[in-house]
Amino acid sequence: DVKVTQSSRYLVKRTGEKVFLECVQDMDHENMFWYRQDPGLGLRLIYFSYDVKMKEKGDIPEGYSVSREKKERFSLILESASTNQTSMYLCASSSGGGTTSYEQYFGPGTRLTVT
């Protein structure tokens, strides 16, 4: 069965802390994504990666960075957390290559609160 796991379901951090959110997929997918979900705004893409060590900015990359050292793992980093980064963070993955990457598979999400 397809599986995307995220390191934490709930996380509380203080302003200014460095925060790591981890995502692991077991489907050998090339593409991985980080979204944030806020009420009334849907899902907004932060960063995505189409290969190991490759990354591209999404629609709202400011204040975030990512790391992909292994194919199955994609990390989101908040260098200095701020209260406006309180949100639900969703990781997803999809197969790569041309027209085959139709569907994204999602993890359960991490609800991050920055105080």
The reply on whether position 86 binds another protein by CB under 8 A is no
The interface region with another protein, picked from 13-21, 41-49, 61-69, 75-83 by CB under 8 A, is 41-49
Interaction between residue 48 and another protein (CB under 8 A): yes
Q: Is residue 25 a contact residue for another protein (CB under 8 A)?
A: no
Report the C-alpha gap between 45 and 76 in whole angstroms: 12
CB of 15 to another protein, least distance (A): 26
Contact assessment for residue 26 and residue 84, using Cβ atoms and an 8 Å cutoff: no
- Cα(75)–Cα(84) distance, rounded to whole angstroms? 20
Residue 47 binding another protein, by CB under 8 A: no
At 58, list the tokens. Answer: 């999404």
